[in-house]
Amino acid sequence: MTKKQSSATEISTIVDSNKTIYVYQREKLTKPISIRELPWTPKQLEFIDLALDKKTKIMLVKGPAGTSKTLLSVYIALKLLNTHRVSDIIFLRSPVESSDSKLGFLPGTAEEKMSEYLIPFSDKLDELLSRPDQKYLLEDNRITAIPVGFMRGRHLSVRAVILDEAQNCTFSELVTITTRLGHFSKLFILGDPQQSDLQNGKRRGFPDFWTLFDDEDSRNQGIATFEFEIDDILRSEIVKFIVRKVSTFKQIV
């Protein structure tokens, strides 16, 4: 999202659970940012409490459009960045076109190709940060975007990672992403199973991945599942009506 080079990395000694762990990471944020507090609902506050818990390492978040999955995850990522619990925010998305229409060939670098898919993320930054704070984070290379296919071989420590539109990922891609996680990182995997952009269920690994880790053993390891329902939709009443209507139609069919 920016051409500027990353600031210097360092070896940090971090104490956790009475153990000294050496983590190779970037220097932390040098000045604070001001994050807007929104009128969160009780369900959203439940999400925030779980997400900020240091024991929570991965959150699998399922819910229909308009339930603020991405907004909440960006809010938490900014909070973690501002309190020096992470040094960077990474936004992941599978560059999958809609099954109903095609963008065609997109020229440029991988970063430039991803820019079309970053608009929802930029919208959330607009809601939560002033323009000067956004500029500061972008120019300091604190927020980056990576296509899912570029994640192999990566090691992610002390970072907040947001995988949006996870319903467009295969099971194998979700395994790749979760196994990149190093010490002191937080990963959000966000999906709406009703909005897969590829036909015939070719890439729909998210429902199976959700089910696999929706158990007590996973929770004990810091992997949490969280589900928003149709009643949690806040975007507008018309969106709530549409999602409910479509859900009923699919059940009938």
Asked, for residue 3, whether it belongs to a domain, the answer is: no
Asked, for residue 210, whether it belongs to a domain, the answer is: yes
Asked, for residue 1, whether it belongs to a domain, the answer is: no
C-alpha distances out from residue 44 to 37, 69, 136, 205, Å: 12, 9, 28, 26
For the stretch 14-50, pLDDT in tens is 555 556 677 777 888 889 999 999 999 999 999 999 9
pLDDT confidence of residue 150: 78
In the chain, the amino acid numbered 8 is A
pTM over 0.95: no
Asked, for residue 47, whether it belongs to a domain, the answer is: yes
Asked, for residue 4, whether it belongs to a domain, the answer is: no
Q: Enter the tokens of residue 66.
A: 């308009």
Asked, for residue 2, whether it belongs to a domain, the answer is: no
CATH number (domain holding residue 172): 3.40.50.300
DSSP assignment of 72-124: HHHHHHHHHHHTTS-SEEEEEE--PPPTT-------S-HHHHHGGGGHHHHHH
Q: How far apart are CA 68 and CA 228, in angstroms?
A: 9
pLDDT confidence of residue 3: 43
pLDDT confidence of residue 250: 60
pLDDT confidence of residue 120: 78
Give the total number of structural domains in the chain: 1
Spans in the chain with pLDDT lower than 50: 1-8, 97-106, 199, 201, 253
Decide if 226 contacts 218 (C-beta within 8 A): no
pLDDT confidence of residue 249: 76
Asked, for residue 100, whether it belongs to a domain, the answer is: yes
Domain of 214? 9-252
pLDDT confidence of residue 2: 44
pLDDT confidence of residue 155: 85
Cα three-residue angle 195-96-169, rounded to 5 degrees:
65
